[in-house]
Structure 1
C-alpha cells in the first residue's frame, strides 16, 4: 500500500515538469497548465493518510482549444486502504465568437469504494464566456452526452443519455491571490452526479503556489449504506508550467 502511495506521489511530481520540457518555447500555442500534490496525515486513535494529486494542461491553436488532465486520491486508515479513486478527461473546443464556443469532451473516473465502480461520459456542449476580464472570468457550458456506468461489486450497468452543465468562475484579487469555483453536473434517468470544487490559490513564486480547497461530490442514486455526498478538504502544493 505505501509503495503504491509513493509511486503515485512520484508520478504526480514528475509529470508536470516532463510535459513542460517537451514543449517548444518558441511557439505561442504550447501546452501550459498545473500539477498539484497534497498529503493529509492524522495520528492518534486512528492513523490515516490521504494523498491527492492533479494534473491539468491546455493548448490554444487558432480558434481551437485543447485540454486534458488527470487526478487521483489514495487513502488508508490504520494501514488499510480506505479510498482509491482516479479520473481523466480530455476536450476540444472551437470558438464561434469572442464570447461563445462549442466543445466535445470525454471524462472517466473509477472509484473502488463509492456506489459506482466507474462512470464514463462522452459529451458535446455549447459554451458562453459571460465575463472575460483580466481579473474575473465566468464561463457556462450546457449540452448533452452519453454515460456508461456500473454499480460497485454488482453486474448492473446504467447506461444512457444525460444532460450536462458546467460553471467555471475565477477571480484574481491581486497578482498573488485568486478565488476559484468549478461546478459540474451530469444528470440522467438513473443518477445525477454533481461535483463542486471551490477554494483559494496563493502564489508563492512564479512557478509554485499553495491551494486550499473543498471538493464536494454528490450522487443521487447510491447503494445501501453508502452516503450520497463526499467532501474532501485539501491543501496542495501547485506547480505551474
Structure 2
C-alpha cells in the first residue's frame, strides 16, 4: 500500500510536469529542460557480459517554480561458474545487477533564492542493501550561488521513509533457505546539495549529494558527472556514483559504486 502511494505521488507529479511542459511549449519554453542518457557494453567469447544503464531527467526553473523529475535504470548480466546439484562446475549467464529508481520534487519560490520543496523518491534494487525504499519529504531550499558558470543550491527538511532490507539466507540442514525481512519505517532528515560548474563552453561538471538520515539507517548518495558536448544536443558523459547505508544485515556491504560512460541527448 505504501509503495503504491509513493508510486502514485511520483506519477501524479510527472503528469503535472508534463502538462505544464506542454502548456509552456505552446507559448514559450517556460524554463523547461531535459536530458536522456544511455550506456551499453557487451562482451562475448571466453567470457560473456552485458551491461545497460539509462537515465531520464526533466527540470523546470522560472520565476515561480523549481521542479525536477528523474528515472534511472541499471541492469547487468555476466557469465558465472556455479556448482550444480551433481557437484559439477558449469557456466551460467546470470543477472548480477537490477535496479531502477524514480523521483520528483516540486519547489515553489518565495523569492528569487528561497523556495518550499516537496520531494518523493522510490527505488528497487534486487542486489542492494534494501530490496526497496520509498521516501516523501517537505522542506526548504535555497539557491546560494547562480551565475554564468556556477550554480549551488541546498535543500533540507523532514521526511518519512519506508524500506525493506534485502532477504538473507540461512542454512537449514544442507539447504540454503531465503528469509524475508520485515518492512521498516522511520522519520528521516533529508538534505540535498547540488552544484553545477561550467568549465568551458562545451565542458560542464555536476555533483549532487543526497542524505536521508534516520535513527535506524542513514542513506547517503553522491552523483558526480563530467560532460563534454559534441553538438548542441549530444554529449559524452563520465559519471561516478557512490551509495552508502549505515546499517546493513550481515554479509551485505554498506557501500555500492557505479561508474558509467554514457551518450547524453539534451532537449
Superposition TM-score tier, normalisation by shorter sequence: 0.7 to 0.9
CA contact (8 A) 2:133 2:161 kept: yes
The root-mean-square deviation of aligned C-alpha atoms, in Å, is 1.8
Secondary structure at the aligned position of 1:159 is classed as strand
Q: When the two structures are aligned, how many residues end up with a matched partner? A: 221
Matched with 2:197 is 171
Whole-Å separation in 1 of the counterparts to 2:217 and 2:44: 37
- Give structure 1 stretches of 5+ with no counterpart: 1-18
Aligned-residue offset at 1:49: 2.1
Shift of the 104–136 alpha-carbon distance from structure 1 to 2, 3 Å rule, reads same
Whole-Å separation in 2 of the counterparts to 1:57 and 1:64: 13
Whole-Å separation in 1 of the counterparts to 2:61 and 2:193: 20
CA contact (8 A) 1:40 1:234 kept: no
Aligned-residue offset at 1:158: 1.3
1:140-186 Cα shifts (integer Å, max 9, x gaps): 11111000101123241110100111110111011100111110010
Matched with 1:120 is 134
Secondary structure at the aligned position of 1:225 is classed as coil
**Which of 198, 212, 216 is 1:186 aligned to?**
212
Structure showing greater radius of gyration is 2
Deviates more, 1:63-72 or 1:231-240: 63-72
Matched with 1:235 is 261
Matched with 1:207 is 233
CA contact (8 A) 2:134 2:162 kept: yes
- Give structure 2 stretches of 5+ with no counterpart: 1-17, 80-92, 168-179
Shift of the 120–101 alpha-carbon distance from structure 1 to 2, 3 Å rule, reads same
Deviates more, 1:27-36 or 1:39-48: 39-48
CA contact (8 A) 2:212 2:218 kept: yes
Q: TM-score, normalised by structure 1?
A: 0.86
CA contact (8 A) 2:63 2:112 kept: no
Matched with 2:60 is 59
Whole-Å separation in 1 of the counterparts to 2:65 and 2:216: 34
Shift of the 179–61 alpha-carbon distance from structure 1 to 2, 3 Å rule, reads closer
* 2:173 maps to 1:159: no
Aligned-residue offset at 1:60: 3.8
